A and B are shown apart, each in its own frame.
Chain A
Amino acid sequence: MKKINSLLPALLLLIFSCNSGEKTENNNGQAAKAEPTPTGGSAAIQDDVSKRNVLQIALASPDHSTLVAAVKAADLVNVLATVGPFTVFAPVNAAFEKLPAGTVTELLKPEKKKDLVNILTYHVIAGGYDIEEFRDGQQLGVANGGRVSIGVKDGKVTVNGANILASVQGANGTVHVIDAVLIPPSK
């Protein structure tokens, strides 16, 4: 191996001077890629100037750490950072705790990803609704293909009976904080 290692810098130089697409490793085991490098997706875009998007709002909220973990497990991080617009009903951590014991742990397992995606996309509307735009009795289509019903009574807004506790407007939509997890009806 020694001899090869001593040759390596020269070899790598040659490879790169030819624009090799081979993925190689240098002595330190660091990956050196010459392939076009896909970025990390929308969520990885560095932008401190624009208003926060719905993903960033959720990430910054300590009350939503369970939701954020679920969004990550479901690979929906990049979706929520795209142009949208989105209306996200964001259950607080306490809402997840109200679910039967073990539910969250179960849903976070890789083999349950489809179910998790189904539940999470039941919380997202592909369309931006501010709190004032909700109407009592409104049926709104959500991203899992189903629909949720809005209630507006005495100035209080609910979605499938869950209370909207607060609303935060983001760059690509609005996050409505809710006190219960919305469970999609079984198909």
Chain B
Amino acid sequence: MKIQLKKYFESNPMVPSKLKSGPINNKMLGLLFVLGALGGCKNESKQSTMLGTDDAASKVYVAPGKYDDFYMFTSGGFSGQVGVYGLPSGRLFKVIPVFSQNAENAYGYSEETKPMLQTSHGFIPWGDSHHPSLSKTDGNADGRWLFINENNTPRIARIDLKTFTTAEIIEIPNSAGNHPSPYVTENTEYVVAGTRFSVPIGEKKDVPISSYKENFKGLVSLIKVDKETGRMSLATQILLPPFDYDKNRAGKGVSRDWSFFTCYNTEMANTMLEANASQNDKDYVMAVNWRKAEEYLKEGKATEMHTPYYNNHMDDGTQSAVTEVLNKQMILNPKDCPGMVYFMPCPKSPHGCDVSPTGEYIVASGKLAALIPVFSYEKMAKAIEAKNFDGDIQGIPVLKYDAVIAGEVQQPGLGPLHTEFDDKGFAYTSMFLSSEIVKWKLGTWEVVDRIPVYYSIGHLMVPGGDSKNPYGKYVIALNKITKDRYLPTGPEVCQSAQLIDISGDKMKMLLDFPTIGEPHYAQAIAADVLMKNNTRIYKIEENHHPYVAKTEKETKVERKGNEVHIYITSIRSHFSPDNIEGIKVGDIVYWHVTNVEQDWDVPHGFAVQGANNSELLIMPGETRTMKWEPKSSGVFAFYCSDFCSALHQEMQGYVRVSDKNSTAPISFSLNEQK
């Protein structure tokens, strides 16, 4: 006991230093101990220092009213969305709807947002979101946009980080399984994507599956990002052998002109990949020089392909999504473009492909490999110059393993997947099979620490860990399995994130919290970088929605054949108009609701009985439209569905629906006493 108490005293700054050494009177010790503990209870702000550095709770505690240090964006996986959390608290702030309809705020239900989910396959209400990627300036997150890929119907979305809303979605033609995506280059020149599944493309698409090697193609897509607006456009696509391209990262610093991809199924199997795609002892890391691709495109080396694809974006003025159908791709073939693409042999079905902060090291983790190979950019550049090749694949040179390898991390654990970096020259790799994070040193490749995670980790993330300047404070484990970690919720239990302190030599588990959907990957950014740009309201004078009513005087109800347009406003605590008549069964009614409030955090909701649709949730200064097709005559109530004010329960109205043959004219009013 004596030792324990002594230890406590030594680490306790409230104890006068002269008492910290030398023989200590037991009685005195006990008394001081009580005082110390009492002091800790009285003074919350001193609690963390009082209780010593081992106290996990104090490290993740964000006092009421205080802010977190980081925003964390996690992919929602099969929910199709993005989760926004605070770090270190793990508090969930928001779910940003991206690829899936979201009834909570009418994303994909309202007339304004429905076009965002239009694709060449029609309206798709669901997506599989995987890898959030923050826009970068000089290799560091700049807080402007967040990109995220959709795997199933290949698409990339851009989220505006001023409003935390989806601003644009571009479909990627000639692609399937948009998994190695959407990693941004050092200055967000491009968002880079690739095909996990190779498919037949171009004219000859209806082919036997057994003709895989001959007819199926892999592709890398370079999507140009406008510097000012962020608008995405497909610049070029690079034709590749029908491998599975798994993950990708842009280079930075010395390797800034390159993007690196892991490739598996270089066996080119089209069935039972579980066995047939693990036959080769080496697959590849592919290096793509996007700067060269840009030049070849300018030189006219590309051929055209014509597959229709969609690009949907929100128009800020009309607050409505605009769909464009495009039909031209510029295809580069590496055969005609020397120096653009190279393969580097890599052990056994590599998955993660991660680039160190300086851009010098490329870490590829083979799911089935017993080591982690680390490639050197400098050696790669030299090997290319010396033409140190081991043959080629469809015109793409294969570099010699020994010529490009910087080192191998031996016996790191089982099932290495992904690697992130800190600011002290260490790398952190997730191990799926052995459920752990392994810390190792760049340069010596030796494992220096490991920590178990619960359970079956996929990605991991260090805030800024993919950038030139990582914050070496935390690593977050993104786990696939939780089983017994939380109170059980039936057969479906959550996936999770675990926050681990990496500021010292040994990793320390701090916190464990559930996530929405599946957190494939996450990105984090310092709170102060984002907070200053935050939008609080939409200015009503800048609302150019075609059906806006900026004041109650502008409200009206118009009939155009069997279409009825209701220009209605909401303000605490009424709608204008709130009594509407003259609607008939068979009419298609559009409720254009403008929230005319100009006050932060005062959204209004709108719900009407019998709507085969979601509610609307309308931000201050915004107009949102619900389509309503009443099926029977009667009087139906509508109301505000987001508690807005003291008299929220009074915020209601009635709409009268008459028989099909009724001749009752349209009428509407607010507070007309008869």
Contact = CB atoms under 8 A, between A and B. Distances in A.
A18 B44 CA distance: 9
A82 B510 contact: no
A65 interface: no
A20 interface: yes
Interface stretch (A42-50, A100-108, A152-160): A42-50
Nearest to B55: A21
B414 A114 contact: no
A38 B8 contact: no
Interface stretch (A56-64, A135-143, A161-169): A135-143
B55 A83 contact: no
Interface in A20-71: 20-25, 34-36, 38-39, 41-42, 45-47
Interface stretch (B240-248, B362-370, B396-404, B623-631): B362-370
A94 interface: no
A24 B5 CA distance: 9
B279 A139 contact: yes
Nearest to A46: B484
Which range contains the number of B residues in contact with the other chain? Answer: 35 or more
B371 interface: yes
- Which of B369, B435, B480, B481 gathers the greatest number of chain A CB atoms within 10 Å? B435
A186 B434 CA distance: 24
B40 A24 contact: no
Contact of B51 (A3, A21, A41, A143): A21
A73 to B, nearest CB: 15
Given A3-B27, A79-B433, A82-B455, A17 B41 contact: yes
Main secondary structure, interface of A, reads: loop
B54 A4 contact: no
Interface residues of A, number: 49
B52 A21 contact: yes
Contacts of B33: 7, 11
A127 B480 CA distance: 17
Contacts of A18: 37, 40-41, 47, 50-51
B328 interface: no
Contact of A11 (B34, B435, B455): B34
A95 interface: no
B511 interface: yes
Nearest to B485: A39
Nearest to A7: B30
B34 A10 contact: yes
A117 B50 CA distance: 43
A23 B57 CA distance: 14
Given A8-B1, A38-B509, 7 more contacts: A22-B4, A22-B54, A24-B4, A79-B435, A83-B455, A141-B348, A145-B347
Interface of B: 1-2, 4-5, 8, 26-27, 29-30, 33-34, 37-38, 40-41, 47, 50-52, 54-58, 274-275, 278-279, 347-349, 367-371, 411, 414-415, 433-435, 452, 454-456, 480-481, 483-485, 509-512
